Amino acid sequence: MAKPNKKGPVQTVDIFCSKCKSQLYKYRKGGKGALVKCFKERISIDYTKETCICPNCASVFAREALVRGTPAFKINAAKVYVK
């Protein structure tokens, strides 16, 4: 399979915790679909202190994975929302 585009999209989205509404990431997302995964190289600003754990309420919102040979976070859709 092909690797994700290195340059990536220009448009950014904000990812928030559904439980406490705190901001988790500013992410360069491509396409119009739902947020399923976040490639680590496309995260513009990371507001978390620990990997995949909300800094405010300490809920786990994702897990680490390799997608097409690239490190990524697989997002639990019920735990986050996107603006």
Q: Which of 39, 43, 51 is nearest to 27 (CA)?
A: 43
How many whole angstroms separate alpha carbon 4 and alpha carbon 41?
10
pLDDT tens digits, one per residue of 9-38: 888 999 999 999 999 999 999 889 999 999
Tell me the two tokens of residue 17.
């915790």
Q: Please state the φ and ψ torsions of residue 52, each to the nearest 5 degrees.
A: 65, 20
What is the model's pLDDT at position 6?
65
Q: Please give the span between the terminal C-alpha atoms of the chain, in angstroms, as a whole number.
A: 30
Burial label for 34, CB within 10 Å (0-12, 13-18, 19+), is exposed
What is the model's pLDDT at position 43?
95
